[in-house]
A and B are shown apart, each in its own frame.
Chain A
Amino acid sequence: MSIVSILIQLTDGMIKTVEIFFLTLLFSLPLGLLLSFCRMSKNLIIRSLAKFYISIMRGTPLMLQLMVVYFGPYFFFGIQITTAYRFAAVIIGFVLNYAAYFAEIYRSGIESISIGQYEAAKILGYSKAQTFYKIILPQVIKRILPPVTNEVITLVKDTSLAFAIAVSEMFTVAKGIVAAQATLVPFAIAGVFYYLFNLLVAFIFEKIEKKLSYYR
């Protein structure tokens, strides 16, 4: 089997991988922010629930979580699982997991902003929403960019965990070809693919960091 035909076979998988990547970011970044608000809530119940949720999500394997999301509806509610649900389950699983990590990153960023910024905004008459979106959040984004970059790079590699519930992202396809054709080339291609993908991710985040370096 030629490299070209392996590549062609892997292409669909690569597209799936990229889809998982972007959809996860699209939903988990805002959900993480919401979760971080809950985690910092004055209400003890909301705060405790958020803390518990985050500890479960960070304390158990993502692969296990994907299986729970995928098989859970059948086991807990007897709902018949369709193959179409597979991809949705992957996205749900990834989003729920990554939101927990992002929530803690947001929290660290929000808590690092000095109380003086809030007080200045209050005295100047900004509403709570204005204070957060105009004054606090832009500064938080700048501060959390390095840990977010780390997390996003991890996400690129984690997409391969979707094979656990047989979603045909690239790594799943690569494994299939390796088994069928007794060649390691697909793995090599997969490795190069992840590496280049992350090179691009790192490059983009570096650009954003540079863009935000106009102030301290």
Chain B
Amino acid sequence: MQLLEIKHMKKKFGSLSVLEDISLSVKKGEVVSIIGPSGSGKSTLLRCATMLEKMDSGELTYLSETAVHNDEAGNAVYADKARLRQIQRYYGLVFQNFNLFPHYTVLKNVTDAPISVLSIPKSQAQKEAMELLEQLGLGDKADAYPHQLSGGQQQRVSIARAMALNPQILFFDEPTSALDPELTGEVLRVIRELAQKHMTMIIVTHEMMFAKEVSDRILFIDAGVIRAQGTPDEIFSSDDERVKSFLARCM
């Protein structure tokens, strides 16, 4: 079953074309990594897929529900707001800069959306949140505020926050790029564990070895197009000059 289907996604910022023509479909349980040089459009792709950014043209479908389709002129048409909010529940996003709510405790960061958006009873939300935090090794941090945590801990909280809404797909936008090198391990470990539980994930990352290890499929994006895609082995043994030189620079 396809959880996500993107067809011919195009996006311009002014006259600068950032996404040329991106098509991508993701099956349940699949882990897809997106790699490529900075400025290649990876983050824009993620932001358009999560509807933080509006695409100019193309189609976007989650679990057979259409969020965006093209009109006859080829311009993107978004579904109405109520429908988009419904569709939005299918996915979560973990940001590069965590974007935790600084005035909420760790526990409230994780429980507030389930309580006030999904109307889950507070006691149930708290119980589930504590289970999640325990799993992510943050059981003793429930009452702490984000600024009291390390970057790695904050990023794990933001993963817990996203997971608390039971998304079908979890997007990661360079989840370790804002972290000190010694803290990336703990975040990658959590993502690896999610992969083992067959969580469907789409990960924009600069961690090549991690992408190689955890992904079912890797997309290499360059200048707004998917230049190459395949299994990690296929990508890492690619003949494509751009892919080869990029990987050589990264490793």
Query: Is A120's CB within 8 Å of the partner chain B?
Result: yes
A141 to B165 Cα, complex, angstroms: 28
Instruction: Check: B15 CB closer than 8 A to any chain A CB.
Output: no
Within the assembled complex, what's the spacing in Å between the Cα atoms of A122 and B117?
11
Asked whether, in the complex, the Cβ of A135 is within 8 Å of the Cβ of B52, the reply is no
Question: Contacts A125-B89, A214-B145, A216-B147: A139 and B95 contacting too (C-beta < 8 A)?
Answer: no
In the complex, what's the smallest C-beta–C-beta distance from B203 to chain A, in angstroms? 16
Residues of B in contact (CB 8 Å), total 26
**Min distance, Cβ A42 to any Cβ of chain B, angstroms:** 15
B92's nearest neighbour on chain A, judged by CB, is A123
Cβ-based interface call for A12 (8 A): no
- Residues of the A chain whose Cβ atoms lie less than 8 Å from the Cβ of B161: 124
Question: How many residues of chain A are within 8 Å of chain B by beta carbon?
Answer: 19
Contact with A along B70-108 (1 / 0, CB 8 A): 000000000000000100110111010101111100000
Contact of B117 with A139 in the complex, beta carbons under 8 Å:
no
Chain A CB within 8 A of B112 CB:
yes
- B-chain residues with CB within 8 Å of residue A125 when the two chains form the complex: 85, 88-89, 113, 117-118, 165
- Which A residues are in CB contact (< 8 Å) with B50? 123
| Residues from chain B with Cβ under 8 Å of A142 in the complex | 103
Please determine whether A119 and B113 come into contact, CB atoms closer than 8 angstroms.
no
Q: Closest CB-CB distance, A210 to chain B, in whole Å?
A: 15
A214 to B144, CA, bound (A): 10
Q: Cβ of B116 and Cβ of A123 under 8 Å apart?
A: no
Docked CA distance A203–B134 (Å)? 42
Contacts of B99 in A (CB 8 A): 114, 116-117, 119-120
Q: Are A124 and B113 in contact (CB under 8 A)?
A: yes
Chain A contacts to B: CB under 8 angstroms: 114, 116-117, 119-120, 122-126, 130, 134-135, 138-139, 142, 214-216
9 tightest Cβ-Cβ pairs between the two chains A and B: A120-B99, A116-B99, A124-B113, A125-B117, A216-B147, A123-B93, A215-B145, A215-B102, A138-B103
| Chain B interface (Cβ < 8 Å from any Cβ of A) | 50, 52, 85, 88-89, 91-93, 95, 97, 99-103, 112-113, 116-118, 145-147, 161-162, 165
